[in-house]
Amino acid sequence: QVQLVESGGGLVQVGGSLVLSCAASGRTFSSYAMGWFRQAPGKEREFVAAISRYGGTTYYADSVKGRFTISRDNAKNTVYLHMNSLKPEGTAVYYCAAAGAVSTYYLPTESREYHYWGQGTQVTVSS
């Protein structure tokens, strides 16, 4: 069982930056690939970024590539999402998720591959 708690959301202007954090409980954090998803009002949840168990590989949605960076610190049981050059379409609730039973470098991109989810943190990008 893994519990995930996101933080770092808030209101930011277009072009600004935010760093989201997701703290995980438990002592087996490195057993999980981690991902970030987001859900905008009236839209389906969408994949944002994923990172493999030890951080060796990452993958991004085209919409955020070059602007967002996912990273993790297994010693702190935390995954981060650094968001730069934010756009109004970045307004959404951002969720972190953990995928277990995956190989070292695997990067899950589908929500159904993730077993545990946080409660989400709101990011609002104002113009």
Neighbouring C-beta atoms of residue 42, cutoff 10 Å: 5
For the segment 17-22, the average pLDDT, to the nearest whole number, is 98
* pLDDT of 27: 75
- Count Cα atoms within 13 angstroms, Cβ side, for 42: 1
Residue range 16-33: average pLDDT? Answer: 94
- Is the predicted pLDDT of residue 42 greater than 90, yes or no? yes
Q: What is the pLDDT of residue 56?
A: 94
**In the predicted structure, residue 115 carries a pLDDT above the cut 90:** yes
Predicted local distance difference test score (pLDDT) of residue 1 = 84
Work out the number of other CB atoms within 10 angstroms of the CB of residue 45: 16
Task: Summarize pLDDT for 48-106 with one digit per residue, the tens.
Answer: 999 999 999 999 999 999 999 999 999 999 999 999 999 999 999 999 999 998 899 99
Q: Going by C-beta distance under 8 Å and a sequence separation of 6 or more, which residues neighbour residue 12?
A: 18, 86, 123, 124, 125, 126
Average pLDDT, the chain: 96
Above 90 in pLDDT, residue 25? yes
Instruction: Over range 11-32, report the average pLDDT.
Output: 95
pLDDT of 36 > 90? The answer is: yes
Q: What is the pLDDT of residues 53-64, one digit of tens each?
A: 999 999 999 999
